[in-house]
Amino acid sequence: MYHHFGEARYPSTNVTLQQFDSHLDYLEKNNFQVWSLEKIIKQLNSQQPFPKKVVAITIDDAYRSVYSNAYPRLKQRRWPFTVFVSSDTVDKKMPAFMSWDQMREMQQHGATFANHSSYHDFLIEQKDNETASAWRQRVRRDLQHAQQRLQRELGTAPALFAYPYGEYNLPLQQIVKELGWAAFGQQSGVVSRYSDRLALPRYPMAEQFAALAQFRTKVMSLPMPIIASTPSTPLLGKKNPPMLQLTIADNGDIRLDQLNCFASNQGQASVRWLDKASGRFTVEARRPFSSRRNRYNCTAPSKETGRYYWYSQLWIQSETANN
């Protein structure tokens, strides 16, 4: 998942063009299949396994560098890709973002444009004096308006959604479910039959984490077979650091004796097995989180050299979120 291309003033969401070229070259030289997101979802719904080397390229926010720097490179390879668009930024002709005309051109060469809300707001948050019911109506209108703008300007609006800032909670997921969409966050991991269709993972790519060695590890990673998790919401409650309880299936390949978990900006987290026979364990950071968005990332090696199973859990600190 990308944002900016060759825009060094945005290091937290930018990849250099050298990095992006190395990513694309690696995929091509190693015979990866690049699928559209719609094909990915269709495969998930069919419950058929994915081929060994399949990736989808997604881009959030529709910045102009997508058109000027990413699009020509993807067009040259004739690879599909999906751009998640906040429609209001385009309607207002904000200079940092692409235009509808540019998107119509890109549609002819492999680009799909999907819903990223109207205003790119913190959707889980209730406004001052806003009831839960009023929040629900407001957010639903926002998402439907963006979908209508895509349909009107581009002639199509796929049943795909990317949460702004990667933030979601149970009430927001329920709205997305009622609209019939598959939804993507920004937590790391591999889309698989174990994935929640309302919180599908993606690997964020930014300068600090986009070196070719890291990219290779991520595109070669495997879905950690998590079959149950508690709590079901990413919202932090009174307990900080939070305790995550997971149940993992032993598929005969994952090396559970080398399972490690990490907390955002802290390093290794505490892992405690509750029942190894049934695959139940807990993960807990060693210190409270202070940032708004945090993650637990868990990895374990495969018996196949150089491949790792990966799972990520989002945590959000908010006092005004609808819950």
- Which tens digit of pLDDT belongs to each residue from 171-229? 999 999 999 999 999 999 999 999 999 999 999 999 999 999 999 999 999 999 999 99
Report yes or no on 17 lying in a domain.
yes
At 223 the pLDDT is: 97
Measured distance CA(85)–CA(66) in Å, rounded: 12
Answer with the one of 202, 220, 238 that is the final residue of a domain. 220
Q: What does pLDDT average to over the chain?
A: 96
Residues 244 and 215 in one domain: no
Mean predicted confidence (pLDDT) in 220-243: 95
Residue 148 inside a domain? The answer is: yes
Tally the domains of the chain: 2
Task: Indicate if 59 and 199 belong to the same structural domain.
Answer: yes
- β strands within the chain, DSSP E: 4-5, 14-15, 33-34, 54-55, 58-60, 81-85, 111-115, 160-162, 182-184, 222-223, 226-230, 243-248, 260-263, 267-268, 270-275, 280-284, 293-301, 308-316
Whether 322 has a pLDDT exceeding 90, the answer reads no
- Which long-range contacts (C-beta less than 8 Å, at least 24 apart) are formed by 94-99? 95/64, 96/63, 96/64, 97/61, 97/62, 97/63, 97/64, 98/62, 98/63, 98/64, 98/66, 98/67
**Residue 268 pLDDT class (50, 70, 90 cuts):** very high
Domain span holding position 255: 226-316
Q: How far apart are CA 21 and CA 156, in angstroms?
A: 30
Read off the pLDDT band of 316 (50, 70, 90).
very high
Percent of the chain at pLDDT > 70 equals: 100
Domain presence at residue 321: no
Distance CA 38, CA 82 (A): 9
Q: Is residue 322 part of a domain?
A: no
Q: Are residues 269 and 182 in the same domain?
A: no
Final residue belonging to a domain, choices 220, 255, 277: 220
Range 10-21 average pLDDT: 97
Task: Check whether residue 52 and residue 190 sit in a common domain.
Answer: yes
> 67 lies in a domain?
yes
Q: Is residue 89 part of a domain?
A: yes
What is d(CA 74, CA 97) in angstroms, rounded to the nearest whole number? 19
pLDDT band per the 50, 70, 90 thresholds, residue 321: confident
Distance, C-alpha 174 to centroid of its chain: 18
Q: What is the separation, in whole angstroms, between the first and last Cα of the chain?
A: 28
Question: Is 323 a residue whose pLDDT tops 90?
Answer: no
Q: Model confidence over 116-133: pLDDT tens digits?
A: 999 999 999 999 999 999
pLDDT, tens only, 37-82: 999 999 999 999 999 999 999 999 999 999 999 999 999 999 999 9
Domain with residue 151: its CATH number is 3.20.20.370
Q: Looking at the structure, tell me whether residues 214 and 244 fall in a common domain.
A: no
**What are 133-165's pLDDT values in tens digits?**
999 999 999 999 999 999 999 999 999 999 999
Do 204 and 237 fall into the same domain? Answer: no
167 plus 243 within the same structural domain: no
In the structure, what pLDDT confidence band is assigned to residue 319 with cuts at 50, 70 and 90? Answer: confident
**What average pLDDT score do residues 297-313 get?**
97
CA dihedral 160, 169, 90, 6 (to 10 degrees): -90
Residue 323 in any domain: the answer is no
Specify whether 216 is located in the same domain as 239: no
CATH number of the CATH domain containing 268: 2.60.40.1220
Q: Is the pTM of the predicted complex or chain greater than 0.75?
A: yes
86 lies in the same domain as 212: yes
pLDDT grade for 270, boundaries at 50, 70 and 90: very high
- 242 plus 188 within the same structural domain: no
Band the pLDDT of 3: cuts 50, 70, 90: very high
The answer to the question of residue 252 being in a domain is yes
Q: Which tokens in the block code for residue 165?
A: 């800032």
Which ranges constitute the DSSP H helices of the chain?
17-29, 37-46, 64-65, 71-77, 87-91, 100-107, 132-154, 170-179, 212-219
**Band (237; pLDDT cuts 50, 70, 90):** confident
- 94 with 194, same domain: the answer is yes
User: In terms of domains, do 207 and 276 share one?
Assistant: no
The dihedral through the CA atoms of 122, 123, 125, 130 has a sign that is positive
The whole-angstrom separation of Cα 293 and Cα 264 is: 9
Domain ends where: 220, 250, 282?
Answer: 220
Confidence of residue 320 (pLDDT cuts 50, 70, 90): confident
